[in-house]
Amino acid sequence: MSDFHGAADGLVTVRLAALATDEIAGPAIAYGPELAAFARDLGVWTSIDAVFGIPSSEAILRWARMGILDPTLTLIHATGLTPEAWTAMGDAGVTVSLAPTSDAQIGLESAVPAVDEALAVGIRPGLSIDVEVALASDMFTQMRTLHAIQRMRATNAAYGTEETRNRITTRDVLDFATLRGAQANALGHVTGSLTPGKEADLLIVRADDINNMPLNDAVGTLVLGSDARNIDTVLVAGNPRKWAGSLVDEDIDALREAVIRSRNAIIGRVAATL
């Protein structure tokens, strides 16, 4: 692994990517004993995407029987899984990465981010974007979406009854977007919280902008009132990448031109095949 830049540390780290089953891309990248052994030999964690429904639930139980369902796995989406699969995941100590806007907007399996199911078995999930080219690529949107969906589920389940369901808080979703996201990427010891010894990875948000003033509750304002335009400064490992509202050492005009050229080239190639 020393041949790979950042395999063990640095700004870029290495993980194994796999799918839950062979339905999407065939058996070569479906997680199982061979890929588990490969990841173990390399000393890396495994991210498993497209964890959906009954087929993935059966796969999870199969991995548990094989002894390859363990804390080095991060399961992405985890929508529509059976209670038995969730119990096995909780017992094994896997991490989970929910994709709130992707599940709901694209309509993946049940289309409902499985936050209640995760919390019920002791898993505090991280959050992910899933598809940056089609969905909002900021964590503010993911936090608000999950917060709204979970509270809607809780209210709907209790509607017309005397029952009261637990509702997640703004502090919960901030935890999911920061520390739990870092832990889901095997980086909980490096980043995700303001802790002595961790990297200085910081987003500094203006609290006096017109869309979120006056500041009364910092967490509530950050989760429910703020968005990406309020980010004043970004530090990555202590180095400024955005300062006073502007990106550092980036030629935005050149980047914009490159993006448009790339888009036009793709459109041209597609048109040529029609």
Q: Where are the domains of the chain?
A: 16-196, 200-274
Specify the pLDDT at position 12. 82
Write the CATH number of the domain with boundaries 200-274. Answer: 2.30.40.10
Report pLDDT digits (tens) over 5-55.
Answer: 445 566 788 899 999 999 888 999 999 999 999 999 999 999 999 999 999
43: tokens are: 């000393």
Angle CA 88–91–94, to nearest 5: 85
Q: Cβ(221)–Cβ(212) under 8 Å?
A: yes
Specify the pLDDT at position 11. 79
What residues have CB less than 8 Å from 3, skipping those under 6 apart?
none
Q: Cβ(76)–Cβ(132) under 8 Å?
A: no
* Spatial separation of the C-alpha atoms in residues 126 and 142, rounded to whole Å: 10
* Spatial separation of the C-alpha atoms in residues 245 and 263, rounded to whole Å: 27
Specify the pLDDT at position 8. 54
* Spatial separation of the C-alpha atoms in residues 130 and 125, rounded to whole Å: 14
Q: Comparing C-alpha atoms, which of 177, 68, 94, 84 is closest to residue 128?
A: 177
What residues have CB less than 8 Å from 273, skipping those under 6 apart?
none
Specify the pLDDT at position 5. 47
Banded pLDDT at 1 (limits 50, 70, 90): very low
Report pLDDT digits (tens) over 64-90.
Answer: 999 999 999 999 999 999 999 999 999
Q: Comparing C-alpha atoms, which of 217, 207, 132 is closest to residue 170?
A: 217
**Average pLDDT score over the chain:** 94
Specify the pLDDT at position 82. 98
* Spatial separation of the C-alpha atoms in residues 91 and 150, rounded to whole Å: 23
Q: Cβ(142)–Cβ(122) under 8 Å?
A: no
Report pLDDT digits (tens) over 83-125.
Answer: 999 999 999 999 999 999 999 999 999 999 999 999 999 999 9
Write the CATH number of the domain with boundaries 16-196. Answer: 3.20.20.140
Q: Comparing C-alpha atoms, which of 148, 152, 140 is closest to residue 178?
A: 140
pTM for this model (two decimals): 0.91
Specify the pLDDT at position 273. 92
In percent, how much of the chain has pLDDT > 90? Answer: 90
